[in-house]
Amino acid sequence: MRFASDNTSGAAPEVMAAILKANEGYESSYGADAGMQRVTDLIHDIFEAPEAAVYLVATGTAANALSIATHCPPWGGVFCHRHAHIAEDECNAPEFYSGAKLVLVPGDHGKMTPAGLGAALSTTGESGVHGVQRGMLSLTNVTEAGTVYTAAEIAALTAMAKAKGIPCHLDGSRFANALVATGATPAGMTWKAGIDVLSLGGTKNGCLGVEAVVLFNPEKAWEFELRRKRGGHLFSKHRFLSAQMEAYLTDGLWLRLAAQANAMGQRLARGLRERQAQVPEAAANMLFPEWSVGHHDRLEAAGAVYYRFPAPEGRERARLVASWSTTDADVDTFLNAF
Query: Is the separation of the CB atoms in 98 and 78 below 8 Å?
Result: yes
Least Å distance between CB 302 and a copy of itself? 16
- Reading phi first (left if > 0) and then psi (alpha if -120 to 50, else beta), residue 251 is in left
37 part of the interface to a copy of itself, by CB under 8 A = no
Binding a copy of itself by CB under 8 A: which of 104, 197, 215, 269?
104
Rank residues 25 and 314 by Cβ distance to a copy of itself and give the closer one: 25
Nearer to a copy of itself, 91 or 301 (CB): 91
194: left (phi over 0), alpha (psi -120 to 50) or beta: left
Taking the C-alpha atoms of residue 284 and residue 277, their distance in angstroms, rounded to an integer, is 18
Q: Which of 18, 35, 61, 110 binds a copy of itself (CB under 8 A)?
A: 61
Cβ of residue 83: shortest distance to a copy of itself, in angstroms? 11
In whole angstroms, how close is the CB of 7 to a copy of itself at the nearest point? 4
Binding mask 188-207 for a copy of itself (x = CB under 8 A): ---------------xx---
Q: Does 7 bind a copy of itself (CB under 8 A)?
A: yes
Residue of 245, 190, 199, 169 whose CA lies nearest to 61: 199
What whole-number distance in Å separates Cα of residue 315 and Cα of residue 288?
A: 12
Write out the binding residues for a copy of itself, residues 296-315 only, by CB under 8 A.
305
* Interactions with a copy of itself, residue window 247-266 (CB under 8 A): none
Using alpha carbons only, give the angle 183, 213, 86 rounded to the nearest 5 degrees. 85
Total residues binding a copy of itself (CB under 8 A): 75
The DSSP bridge partners found for residue 172 are 200
**174 part of the interface to a copy of itself, by CB under 8 A:** no
Q: Which of 83, 192, 228, 296 binds a copy of itself (CB under 8 A)?
A: 228
2 touches a copy of itself (CB under 8 A): yes
Contact call for residue 5 and a copy of itself (CB under 8 A): yes
Q: Does residue number 237 form part of the binding site for a copy of itself (CB under 8 A)? A: yes
Phi, psi of 326 (to 5 degrees): -70, 135
- Whether the CB-CB separation of 83 and 110 falls below 8 Å is answered with yes
Which member of 45, 89, 108, 297 binds a copy of itself (CB under 8 A)? Answer: 89
**318, 324, 328, 330 alpha-carbon torsion, rounded to 10°:** -50
What minimum distance in Å lies between the beta carbon of 86 and a copy of itself?
A: 11
Q: How far is the CB of 112 from a copy of itself (least distance, A)?
A: 17
Q: Which is nearest to 3 in space by CA: 313, 272, 208?
A: 272
The pairing of beta strand 168-172 with beta strand 133-140: parallel
Stretch that binds a copy of itself, among 44-52, 55-63, 150-158, 177-185 (CB under 8 A): 55-63
